[in-house]
Structure 1
């Protein structure tokens, strides 16, 4: 708790601008954009005229949450609530870590990983969504209905928590998720106009400068590519020739990832206590690296899910989790500290992006392979038909003693014939 308190104190001092963090002001989204949405949402409607509103309807609750602290200004109240959500995650991980068969490694991943991202963590509402996701995964084993409800609510906050259900094996979790999603969505659709306008805005996004696909254009700019970098739909994106092609490829890769997850789900037969968390971590990693956008706050999701995985002693996600934590450090170097270099596509900015995205790709591949290895049993080689072997033995027994071919002893067993050797 001491390490958590000290590191979070510095994060609060940065977002409150007692200390100035290098790079662009990451708190402007809260004081300007979030506060502007707050003024619209409190009147009972979504910001339909703002294309930067690209969130599911329950996100309104996160934006409106500072109203519970009326004695503070909007930005300060938001930062305090973000810090409280951070503390909730730590408490959940500590409570889980002291149980039999569990470990406190997960709590340490959260304590160390979050501050490596800098003040961006408290200047976005992703830490609140991550708190819901962590609670859902930790409830999964004993309380599948609660897990499904929390996953559905999280998905209506920011979509990605729907992936938590990938490894759920109990129908109660899926049924609870469906009922919760339908009920909450219906309430917002009836109470507030434009609850699902975000779907249109999301479809018009391009390739953000920090994504894996953007590396193509960072390199291409040095070889005469005629595009540009501009603020588009609320993020800094590449605009110009072939951007649509790269964005389409990213969507196709996302579809491939979905197909792989479906195949894994159909082939998996060993579901261990940590499989639910491992599958969620793998799914979010894969969808992150194939996304058209990898904003710095996305790393908060991965740190939270990695922390849940490492609460289990038997998990095989130690290496991918370590790679994610290292990627957090590289992320803060590229945003906000070195974001000017990233936008300029200079050598320093490109190096940071290649390292960070490379770490995430390696983490995704190794995590996916580990998930497959631990849950999908290897195929067994088929045994030779018994009838053929018996027939061969009979024919050998009938041969005369002077035959040119030596008879096979009936007591001999050829390699591969014993069932024990095929396991």
Structure 2
């Protein structure tokens, strides 16, 4: 039976090997990234945030981008510096050039990431590279037009370096610190760095992480002052229940299905948070519950770290699995859920596909792709109908389907992280993991 299986595998390999050919991968990448670009050019959609970045960076709109951590604005600042060289900073042409430059930078980084995934999986079918390519195409225009892709790729780099072995663990912690300073949420993943309490490597990783955070905080204070360091924190605390969030779904549905009555107690409006929020009966209670659930996610991270200290069973793959689960916990318990948030988790899962042979990781990848397609239906396809007062039923149902898919995805990620089978890695990786743990 074993020889028959080997023979079957040998016969099937040549038929699949063409999927790893560099030309095929490059063409797939190009097609997938042309989807959002053509969408943007034909419909003129999803560039509002990029133009908002430009107006904030050039001072046209004072106070714009204060909600973003200073380090998180650096990719946009780089594009602004390049595209406004020799031109008028407030010129319409400069703004259009900035939009093109931002999309180009996002695409270039995606290309580098795809190359890494393909090269790391060379000799076999590059499922991780194809997963990333499909994610790019299925995510629609939002994929290339938001800053979230940058911290997402940094967290993927953190995971890749952890899995690469002990000599790269210091750089991994630096990347995680940089991602934290770009978007705040990756800071919770610091719990994944904790190994056995008696292992020097544990405290070295933790010290490198917090040392890097301190250094970046000092840079921010020197560049923008203390106010610039804390403004993203105060901004997040003032936000209401975003219409796209998991917790808002029941109220959006209720509002949509009472649409025919001509009057609904729920209202959707554009808030000072620069997003659409829903208000009405039950929303205040929901916000309280979500705050408690978010706190519970942080407590989960702390407890996970404490258990690792005691058990001394840390491995790189275990840390990556927990990071994926924690990212999804942050998303589903958040009072905010913007369409680009899937870019937080997809890059890490692409890296996990390289290192793990467990079927659950493949299931997670498929669930992310399904969630990406449904997210594209929510934004931008039905978005105008979703934020209408009251929303249309078809838009509310699309939101329901997407959010159910995301909750299922979160459940699968938790199962991977907290079941023994989800922690399996190859023998070589186990040795490397214990060496750095």
- Structure 1 and Structure 2 fold alike (TM over 0.5): yes
| Residue 238 (structure 2) aligned to one of 193, 204, 212 | 204
Q: Work out whether residues 416 and 422 of structure 2, in 8 Å CA contact, stay in contact via their aligned partners in 1.
A: no
Q: Work out whether residues 267 and 280 of structure 2, in 8 Å CA contact, stay in contact via their aligned partners in 1.
A: yes
SS of aligned partner of 2:354: coil
Output the CA distance in 2 between the equivalents of 1:265 and 1:199.
24
Larger Rg: 1
| Residue 188 (structure 1) aligned to one of 185, 195, 220 | 220
| Residue 363 (structure 2) aligned to one of 304, 319, 338 | 319
The Cα RMSD (Å) is: 2.4
Output the CA distance in 2 between the equivalents of 1:5 and 1:317.
26
SS of aligned partner of 1:206: coil
Output the CA distance in 2 between the equivalents of 1:337 and 1:349.
9
Say whether residues 1:83 and 2:102 are aligned partners. no
Q: Which residue of 2 aligns with 1:28?
A: 48
Q: Work out whether residues 269 and 277 of structure 2, in 8 Å CA contact, stay in contact via their aligned partners in 1.
A: yes
SS of aligned partner of 2:387: helix
When normalised by structure 2's length, the TM-score is 0.77
Say whether residues 1:96 and 2:139 are aligned partners. no
Q: Which residue of 1 aligns with 2:63?
A: 49
**Following superposition of structure 1 onto structure 2, how do residues 17-416 of structure 1 map, counting pairs within 5 Å?**
17=41, 19-20=42-43, 25-31=45-51, 33-40=52-59, 49-50=63-64, 53-66=66-79, 67-70=81-84, 73-98=97-122, 104-141=126-163, 142=165, 143-168=168-193, 169=195, 170-193=202-225, 194-195=227-228, 196-221=230-255, 222=257, 225-232=264-271, 233-267=273-307, 269=311, 270-315=313-358, 316-344=360-388, 345-374=391-420
CA apart distance, 1:272: 4.2
**More helix, by proportion:** 2
Seen in structure 2, the aligned counterparts of structure 1 residues 248 and 375 have a Cα distance that, compared at 3 Å, is farther
When normalised by structure 1's length, the TM-score is 0.79
Output the CA distance in 2 between the equivalents of 1:235 and 1:262.
31
Q: Work out whether residues 114 and 300 of structure 1, in 8 Å CA contact, stay in contact via their aligned partners in 2.
A: no
Output the CA distance in 2 between the equivalents of 1:103 and 1:291.
36
Q: Which moved more, 1:341-350 or 1:304-313?
A: 341-350
Give the number of aligned pairs.
363
Q: Work out whether residues 103 and 313 of structure 1, in 8 Å CA contact, stay in contact via their aligned partners in 2.
A: no
Output the CA distance in 2 between the equivalents of 1:271 and 1:314.
19
CA deviation profile, 1:16-48 (whole Å, cap 9, x unmatched): x1x227xxx2112212x111111139xxxxx87
CA apart distance, 1:77: 1.0
Q: Work out whether residues 310 and 317 of structure 1, in 8 Å CA contact, stay in contact via their aligned partners in 2.
A: yes
SS of aligned partner of 1:230: strand
Where structure 2 has 5 or more consecutive residues not aligned to the other structure, the ranges are: 1-25, 86-93, 196-201, 424-437
Output the CA distance in 2 between the equivalents of 1:349 and 1:282.
28
Q: Which moved more, 1:216-225 or 1:341-350?
A: 216-225
CA apart distance, 1:140: 1.4
CA apart distance, 1:375: 7.3
CA apart distance, 1:68: 3.0
SS of aligned partner of 2:339: coil
Output the CA distance in 1 between the equivalents of 2:350 and 2:176.
17
Output the CA distance in 1 between the equivalents of 2:84 and 2:62.
26
Q: Work out whether residues 269 and 387 of structure 2, in 8 Å CA contact, stay in contact via their aligned partners in 1.
A: no
Q: Work out whether residues 240 and 287 of structure 2, in 8 Å CA contact, stay in contact via their aligned partners in 1.
A: yes
CA deviation profile, 1:39-97 (whole Å, cap 9, x unmatched): 139xxxxx8734x6322120221220212345672111111111112112212322332
Output the CA distance in 1 between the equivalents of 2:157 and 2:330.
21
